[in-house]
């Protein structure tokens, strides 16, 4: 295959663009900002479980407190009724002794129920504090997630803008390349990762290997418009002023 030396050198420009596009694509797929978003999302999933448990504890505490109040109120009401009868003095001595004993018993029961109510209130307060603490952490994570998503979007847009510019440059280069030369470049690129490389100081910059004496003689004997291939890696070998031939 033949192509003017100036056209062959455009392959190096194309290769540079394609290398940049590969780098941008890899960076786009492996953004640290994306990893940070995933990390926060995983932490949110965990804290959501904690929050559900904390909210359940609060609900249980509220139910326990209501039950304690429900248990206490009828005992207090009965104690008030008994005390009212005692204060009224309209019962006989035997009934009075019974009422006094019952009031004493009710006082003890009220004390027990009030202690239980206080304990329920303390447990509810602790559960509410714990729930609020977890909710605060979740709110902080929500804010962190929004910031992380915004940072990821910003970087991704910058990469996409750069890639768009590189694609425009690539389109301009393709206008200078014959179809058969570009087809060879693409086939080689798909096979070895890049389609062309410069020959610098007798070494292929694609594979990094120095050409042996026989290959160097063949390169030197080739016409300026002959399209060379690296004997080691198969890339299109573009001669430059620094080739050392």
10-residue mean pLDDT profile of the chain (245 residues): values are 95 97 96 96 95 96 95 95 88 87 94 94 96 96 97 97 98 96 96 95 94 92 95 94 85
Q: What is the pLDDT of residue 30?
A: 95
Domain spanning 31-170: which CATH class is it, in words? mainly alpha
Beta bridge partners of 2: 226
Instruction: Say what the pLDDT of residue 96 is.
Output: 86
Burial code of 23-33, b = ≥16 C-beta within 10 A, e = fewer?
Answer: ebeeeeeeeee
- What's residue 80's pLDDT? 95
Domain boundaries, the chain: 5-25+178-239, 31-170
What is the pTM for the complete model shown? 0.71
Compute the chain's Rg from CA coordinates. Answer: 42
Which pLDDT belongs to residue 8?
96
């Amino acid at each position: 295959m033949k192509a003017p030396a100036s056209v062959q050198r455009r392959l190096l420009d194309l290769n540079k663009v394609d290398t940049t596009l590969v780098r941008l694509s890899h960076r786009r797929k492996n953004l640290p900002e994306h990893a940070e978003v995933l990390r926060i999302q995983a932490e949110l999933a965990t804290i959501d479980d904690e929050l559900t448990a904390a909210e359940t504890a609060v609900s249980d505490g509220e139910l326990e407190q209501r039950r304690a109040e429900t248990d206490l109120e009828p005992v207090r009401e009965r104690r008030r009724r008994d005390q009212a009868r005692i204060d009224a003095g309209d019962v006989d001595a035997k009934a009075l002794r019974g009422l006094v004993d019952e009031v004493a018993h009710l006082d003890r029961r009220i004390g027990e129920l009030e202690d239980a109510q206080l304990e329920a209130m303390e447990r509810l307060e602790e559960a509410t504090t714990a729930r609020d603490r977890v909710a605060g952490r979740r709110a902080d994570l929500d804010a962190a997630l929004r910031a992380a998503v915004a940072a990821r979007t910003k970087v991704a847009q910058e990469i996409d803008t750069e890639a768009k510019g590189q694609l425009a440059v690539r389109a301009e280069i393709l206008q200078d390349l014959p179809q058969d030369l570009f087809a060879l470049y693409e086939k080689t690129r798909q096979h070895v990762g890049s389609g062309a490389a410069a020959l610098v100081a007798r070494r292929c910059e694609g594979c990094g290997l120095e050409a042996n004496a026989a290959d160097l003689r063949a390169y030197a004997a080739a016409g300026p418009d002959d399209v060379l291939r690296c004997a080691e890696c198969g890339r299109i070998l573009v001669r430059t002023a620094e080739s050392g031939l």
